[in-house]
Structure formats: structure tokens, C-alpha cells
């Protein structure tokens, strides 16, 4: 029976004069997400509300699923709307609505009317009472409960009259594109896709970089990262995924630096490379999946040592999460199963048995001096041979 959705958004509502920018971005993002659905839709913005109208046949469940990927939406309400043809006609529509949406009538309800069009003959209180009476008359098994109703029936009197009672939670956050772009370091693990999701949720567009180390990492490991980027792009929109061949740098570090500092030094160079690409692509920050203390390279000391090479902000949204917490998010956004596929990535392949957990920055820097003769050229080559693919969720 539903052919339209009322889109609720939370934080945008409190924005001041920029509000329209956020709303327009949300409309854009909704249109983009709905391209993946069967059928065609009209997305319109009226009086501080966004409505999605299905034009003809559409798949209800699929449409809801896609809307759930649009940041900025706090709730999705399947809505029925009618022209104002007097109260009696409205009463019939409402009875029909209740009958179809709630086949089981043993429920309590409350009517929550709102009158945006003040010239409607009944005021809010009267509307609540009269509509309640009509429902009770049609379905004597139903009861009114104004404190804890099973059904909250919303009625909005505007240029048309809108009826809805279900609010399906959306992902929240802010529409992508309202807050610049950042470069995600995507490894293939559980945390980095989660980190990308969380930053994107604040309206940030994503690019991503992956460090590939053939023959130590396989084509499948690379494909896995592409797949993860695609899953994240359901939320973030298209991602430019930059693939860097990191083998020679890794081998140089391996040959010239102490093995227990391998991971830290490697990560410092990864950050440097990511930052360089970020600058070239107008990104305003880096994103990593690091979480304090999770592994040797993510202790406070290690983060201090890694962060030292970065001049742009590094966003680490997983920083305070326990593993289980990021697992839960990855399950929610459907990246978990892909993340746990057992292909080696460049972080695990050369890891020392006992890596330093409290690296000393001065010592690390001194050891990096061993690379002085080769590293500039290797970095240059890694950057100039990068492969870039555009990853997006196809219909």
C-alpha cells in the first residue's frame, strides 16, 4: 500500500543558514542510492521535509535497504498521503491504513496529529480525539494507550495529509559530500573498513590506498581489498582506490633496518605515501583503523612514532574500540566476512616474532638513515607506478 517514504534527518535540522546545503546533499545521496533499486523514484524537498515517491512498480524491502545506506537519514517512514477531501474521507483512509498495516488488531495505539496548515478546521487536540474515535469504532479490539502505545499513528496536515506509523532507523550521520574528503588506509583487516565507514558517516567522501606486496601478497588479497572498498562504497559513494606496489620498499627496510622495528618503519613509509597521494587528490586527512594497544604497532609509543611523519590530521575512529566492538560494526556494515578471509596482507607477512612495543623515535629515525641512499627513488617509483581503480557498488 505504501508508495512513498518520509525521510527523517536528525542533525541537519539544527544547522543554521547552511541547512539547505545539507538538505540538497542528502537529496543527491538518496537519488544516488535509489539508482541501485528497481523502479524509478522522485525525491522532493518540501517545507523542511524530504519525501521519496515511487513512480510505479518498486521493491519495498530493497528500497528500504538502500535508504539505510544513506548517511544523514535518521529514520525512514513508509507513508500514505491523500488530498484533503474532508474529515469523513480522511477517516476512511485511516481505517483502511490501520486494517492493512496491522492485520492483528489486538494492539494499543495513540494518534499524534500535527497541523502545519493552520486553516484546517480541526485543531491538533480535536484531530487526535476524532481520529481515535474513528479507529475505535472500526476496530473495537483496539485500545488507546497514550503513554506506551504499540502503534504511534502520525498524522500530518500539510498541503496534503500524511499518515505514517513506522519509523525504520536509518544510519544517522551527515550526507556524504558535506564535509570534504579523506584518504583511508585500507589493509584488508576488520578495522580499516569500519574506520572508513565511521568517518564517511560524518559526511566525508573517501579515497583509499592499499599497499600491495607481490609476490608476498596474492592477487586474492588485492581482490579482497577491492571487495571491501566496494562494500564501504555502498555507504560512502564511489571510492578511488589507489594500489601501491610496496614490495621494494618493504624489502629495503627488511635488509637495512632491525627486524623488530620493521613494522613501525614500514608504517611510517605507508603514512608518508598515503599523505602524498592525499595531498595530490585534495584529501584533507588520513583515516586508519588503529586502536590503542591492539597490536605492537598500535601502542601509544608506536602511534607516536608513526604519527610523527604526518603533517595532515590522521583520523582514527576505532581508537577507543575493543576488537569486539569493531567486529560488531563490521558485521552491521557487512564487511566482516570478507575481512576474515585468510589472505596475507603486507602487515602480516614480514612481521618479526617480537616486534618493539615501545619504539624510541630517535632510534627509529637513526635506523631509517640506513635507507637514505635508496628510499627517495623507491618512494618515487612506488608513487609513479600506482594503479587507481574506481570502486562503486553496482546495481
Partner 1 sequence: MTEVYLDNSATTRCFPSVAAVMTKVMCEDYGNPSSMHLKGVEAEQYIKFCRQTIAKTLKVNEKEIFFTSGGTEADNLAIIGTALANQRRGKHIITTCVEHPAVLEPMEYLEKMGFEISYLGVDSKGRINLSELEQSLRTDTILVSIMHTNNEVGAVMPLDEAGRIIKSKCPKAYFHVDAVQGYGKAKILPKRMGIDLMSVSGHKIHGPKGIGFLYVNEKVKIQPIVFGGGQQKGLRSGTENVPAIAGLQKAVEEVYHFLDRDVEQLYQLREYFIRGLLQIPSVTINGSLDNDCSPHIISLSVEGVRSEVLLHALEEKRIYVSAGSACAAKKAAYSKTLQAMGVRKELLDSTIRISLSVFTTKEEIHYTLGVLYDIIPMLRRYTRH
Q: Smallest distance, Å, CB 71 to partner 1?
A: 33
Which phi and psi angles does 339 have, rounded to 5°? -60, -35
Q: Closer CB to partner 1, residue 17 or residue 353?
A: 353
Our finding on whether 327 is near partner 1 (CB under 8 A) is: no
Distance CA 159, CA 131 (A): 19
Q: Give how far Cα 45 sits from Cα of 52, 83, 97, Å.
A: 9, 18, 25
Q: Closer CB to partner 1, residue 21 or residue 251?
A: 251
Q: Quick check: 199 and 286 in contact, CB under 8 A? A: no
Q: Smallest distance, Å, CB 263 to partner 1?
A: 13
Distance CA 20, CA 22 (A): 5
Q: Smallest distance, Å, CB 296 to partner 1?
A: 14
Q: Smallest distance, Å, CB 221 to partner 1?
A: 9
C-alpha cell at 381: 617509483
Our finding on whether 2 is near partner 1 (CB under 8 A) is: no
The b-or-e profile of 175-199 (16+ CB within 10 A means b, else e) is: bbbbbebbbbbbbbbbbbbbbbbbb
C-alpha cell at 241: 582506490
Among 38, 137, 145, 255, binds partner 1 (CB under 8 A): 255
Our finding on whether 219 is near partner 1 (CB under 8 A) is: yes
Q: Closer CB to partner 1, residue 45 or residue 259?
A: 259
Q: Smallest distance, Å, CB 344 to partner 1?
A: 5
Our finding on whether 387 is near partner 1 (CB under 8 A) is: no
Q: Closer CB to partner 1, residue 251 or residue 374?
A: 251
Among 16, 86, 215, 320, binds partner 1 (CB under 8 A): 215
Q: Quick check: 171 and 7 in contact, CB under 8 A? A: no
Q: Smallest distance, Å, CB 101 to partner 1?
A: 44
Q: Which residue is listed with cell 588479497?
A: 221
Among 2, 87, 102, 216, binds partner 1 (CB under 8 A): 216
Nearest to 302 by CA among 370, 254, 360, 368: 360
Q: Quick check: 303 and 292 in contact, CB under 8 A? A: yes
Q: In whole angstroms, how large is the CA radius of gyration of the chain?
A: 27
Our finding on whether 337 is near partner 1 (CB under 8 A) is: no
Span interacting with partner 1, options 51-59, 114-122, 291-299, 339-347, rule CB under 8 A: 339-347
Residues near 145 by beta carbon (within 8 Å), at least 6 away in sequence? 108, 109, 110
Question: In DSSP terms, which residues pair with 206 in a beta bridge?
Answer: 182
Our finding on whether 218 is near partner 1 (CB under 8 A) is: yes
Among 82, 144, 251, 383, binds partner 1 (CB under 8 A): 251
Our finding on whether 350 is near partner 1 (CB under 8 A) is: yes
C-alpha cell at 294: 591492539
Q: Closer CB to partner 1, residue 255 or residue 322?
A: 255
Residues near 34 by beta carbon (within 8 Å), at least 6 away in sequence? 41, 43, 52, 63, 66, 67
Span interacting with partner 1, options 58-66, 157-165, 185-193, 253-261, rule CB under 8 A: 253-261
Span interacting with partner 1, options 138-146, 209-217, 297-305, 314-322, rule CB under 8 A: 209-217
Binding site for partner 1 (CB under 8 A): 214-219, 251, 254-255, 259, 342-344, 348-350, 352-353
Amino acid at each position: 500500500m505504501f508508495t512513498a517514504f518520509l525521510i527523517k534527518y536528525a542533525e541537519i535540522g539544527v544547522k543554521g543558514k547552511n541547512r539547505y546545503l545539507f538538505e540538497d546533499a542528502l537529496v543527491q545521496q538518496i537519488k544516488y542510492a535509489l539508482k541501485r533499486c528497481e523502479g524509478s523514484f522522485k525525491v522532493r524537498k518540501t517545507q523542511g521535509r524530504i519525501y521519496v515517491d515511487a513512480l510505479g512498480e518498486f521493491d519495498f524491502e530493497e528500497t528500504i535497504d538502500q535508504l539505510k545506506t544513506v548517511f544523514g537519514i535518521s529514520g525512514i517512514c513508509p507513508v500514505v498521503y491523500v488530498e484533503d477531501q474532508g474529515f469523513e474521507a480522511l477517516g476512511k483512509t485511516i481505517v483502511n491504513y490501520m486494517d492493512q498495516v496491522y492485520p492483528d488488531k489486538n494492539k494499543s495505539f495513540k494518534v499524534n496529529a500535527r497541523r502545519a496548515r493552520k486553516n484546517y478546521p480541526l485543531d491538533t487536540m480535536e484531530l487526535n480525539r476524532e481520529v481515535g474515535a474513528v479507529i475505535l469504532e472500526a476496530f473495537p479490539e483496539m485500545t488507546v494507550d497514550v503513554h506506551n502505545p504499540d502503534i504511534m499513528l502520525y498524522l500530518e496536515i500539510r498541503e496534503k495529509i500524511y499518515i505514517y506509523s513506522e519509523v525504520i532507523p536509518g544510519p544517522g550521520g551527515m550526507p556524504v559530500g558535506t564535509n570534504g574528503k579523506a584518504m583511508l588506509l585500507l589493509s584488508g583487516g576488520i578495522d580499516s573498513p569500519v574506520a572508513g565507514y565511521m568517518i564517511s558517516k560524518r559526511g566525508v567522501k573517501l579515497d583509499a590506498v592499499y599497499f600491495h606486496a607481490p609476490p608476498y601478497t596474492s592477487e586474492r588479497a588485492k581482490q579482497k581489498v577491492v571487495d571491501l572498498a566496494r562494500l564501504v562504497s555502498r555507504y560512502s559513494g564511489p571510492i578511488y582506490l589507489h594500489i601501491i606496489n610496496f614490495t621494494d620498499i618493504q624489502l629495503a627496510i627488511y635488509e637495512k633496518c632491525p627486524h623488530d622495528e620493521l613494522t613501525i618503519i614500514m608504517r611510517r613509509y605507508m603514512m608518508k605515501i598515503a599523505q602524498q597521494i592525499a595531498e595530490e587528490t585534495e584529501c584533507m586527512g588520513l583515516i586508519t583503523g588503529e586502536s590503542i594497544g591492539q597490536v605492537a604497532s598500535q601502542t601509544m609509543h608506536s602511534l607516536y612514532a608513526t604519527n610523527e611523519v604526518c603533517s595532515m590530521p590522521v583520523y582514527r575512529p576505532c581508537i577507543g574500540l575493543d576488537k569486539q566492538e569493531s567486529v560488531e560494526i563490521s558485521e552491521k556494515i557487512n564487511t566482516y566476512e570478507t575481512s576474515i578471509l585468510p589472505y596475507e596482507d603486507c602487515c602480516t607477512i614480514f612481521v618479526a616474532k617480537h616486534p618493539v612495543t615501545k619504539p624510541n623515535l630517535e632510534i627509529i629515525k637513526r635506523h631509517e638513515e640506513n635507507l637514505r641512499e635508496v628510499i627517495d627513488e623507491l618512494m618515487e617509483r612506488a608513487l609513479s607506478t600506482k594503479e587507481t581503480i574506481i570502486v562503486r557498488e553496482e546495481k
